[in-house]
Amino acid sequence: MKLIRLSKSCLGEEEKNAVMGVLDREYLGIGAEVSTFEGLLTDYFKRESTCVVNGTGAIQLAVQACGIGAGDEVLIPSLTYVASFQAISATGAKPVPCDIDPQTLMIDVDDAQKRITKRTKAIVPVHYTGGVGDLDNVYKFATTNGLRVIEDAAHAFGTVYKGKRIGSFGDIVCFSFDGIKNITSGEGGCIVTADNVVSERIKDLRLLGVEKDTEKRYSGKRSWDFDVQMQGWRYHMSNVMAAIGIEQLKKFPLMADKRKRLAMQYDKLLSNHLGIQILPRNYYEVVPHIYVVRIAGLNVERRMLLQDTLSEQGIQTGIHYKPNHELTFYKDDTALPFPITTLIYPELLTLPLHPDLSVEDVEFVCKMLKRTVDER
């Protein structure tokens, strides 16, 4: 039986040759390839881009570089990967989970407003699935309340909002290049911002806080006599990772197009089914990272049975995500309730999506999903 994977890395000879080139040169750390990849990303976004070890580290460093830490609070939708929460709590700050908008499944700023305290310093909108919702409203809310905006754009590489590429505007935007993202560098991530103070600080933070080491590393040198003024981390990207990222960026237009076409096909095949609700996303602008549907009347147990049935047909599915306010580490019994997240979470199901998926695969997934939902 053929296995239809939920997601996968899509690599070719180009990435393999690029990695072999780095291995042959025997300079694996942060050097020429990272510098080149950052240059390409800076051209792509028309803004300073700094590469780090993963998307989680990107968010952590962005929060820290804003001077946010112990005693501070950061607003974030509960419906996100635990990575977003861990990135915030790693700085000492408290992630404050918020409810979501029932249509877009993005942070509900009216709900966020109710959770603001004197300690609130930032909001982290999560571009769930690759869409961005009403981002203008998030920025309006942040301006009104004097907050920094750190966009978790792990899902949204390539997405366009009102004619502008995500990352090319706004405060601070963090991307992930993990193995299954819209582009991958194996693991990896980057921070894009026009705030020079923040980007300079992040460049030091990713190299253990060693001041101004990046330029030396890019010319094959390093600092021997240096000062450190803050807690840093060993979070820089390596040349091996950047070599993969450079090749992926070249292929991105084709891969993005494929993702969009497959998502549009899912929309077309599923939108006429009463029990299945598709998410409102405009795939002329959104590059989808994952394809999520809502299935009316599901609960966690029934969803597991549905997943088992699809799995028997060789179809992998996923759940994005277990709400963070339900996790022991982040549970707060005094918090306001999360009615929309609580209602919607058990109904969410993620269907396979990656550039190696075929039109026939999508047709098969839709046929099996509809059949299974109808037989319930």
Ligand X SMILES: Cc1ncc(COP(=O)(O)O)c(C=O)c1O
- Residues near ligand X, by CB under 6 A: 54-56, 80-81, 83-84, 126, 152, 154-155, 176, 178, 189
**What HEC string does 340-352 produce?**
HHHHHHHHEEEEC
Please identify, using beta-carbon distances, which residue of 105 and 373 lies nearer to ligand X.
105
Q: How far is the CB of 269 from ligand X (least distance, A)?
A: 25
98, 133 Cβ separation under 8 angstroms: no
Q: How far is the CB of 338 from ligand X (least distance, A)?
A: 17
DSSP assignment of 138-154: HHHHHHHHT-EEEEE-T
Please state, in angstroms and rounded to a whole number, the distance separating the CA atoms of residues 219 and 214: 9
Please identify, using beta-carbon distances, which residue of 259 and 265 lies nearer to ligand X.
259
Three-state SS at 188: coil
Please identify, using beta-carbon distances, which residue of 84 and 199 lies nearer to ligand X.
84
Q: How far is the CB of 334 from ligand X (least distance, A)?
A: 26
Please identify, using beta-carbon distances, which residue of 150 and 198 lies nearer to ligand X.
150
Three-state SS at 190: strand
First to last CA, the chain: 24
- Spatial CB neighbours of 137, under 8 Å, sequence gap ≥ 6: 109
Q: How far is the CB of 136 from ligand X (least distance, A)?
A: 21
- Spatial CB neighbours of 271, under 8 Å, sequence gap ≥ 6: 278
Please state, in angstroms and rounded to a whole number, the distance separating the CA atoms of residues 325 and 331: 5
Please state, in angstroms and rounded to a whole number, the distance separating the CA atoms of residues 182 and 191: 16
Q: How far is the CB of 23 from ligand X (least distance, A)?
A: 23
Beta bridge partners of 98: 77
Three-state SS at 295: strand
Please identify, using beta-carbon distances, which residue of 351 and 366 lies nearer to ligand X.
351
Please identify, using beta-carbon distances, which residue of 83 and 362 lies nearer to ligand X.
83
Q: How far is the CB of 215 from ligand X (least distance, A)?
A: 25
Please identify, using beta-carbon distances, which residue of 349 and 366 lies nearer to ligand X.
349
Q: How far is the CB of 171 from ligand X (least distance, A)?
A: 17
Please identify, using beta-carbon distances, which residue of 80 and 120 lies nearer to ligand X.
80
Which residue number has the CB closest to ligand X?
55
**CA distances (Å), origin 264, targets 328, 362, 371:** 38, 10, 20
Sign of the alpha-carbon torsion through 237, 238, 239, 241? negative
177, 188 Cβ separation under 8 angstroms: yes
Look-up: residue for tokens 């084709």? Answer: 254
Q: How far is the CB of 62 from ligand X (least distance, A)?
A: 11
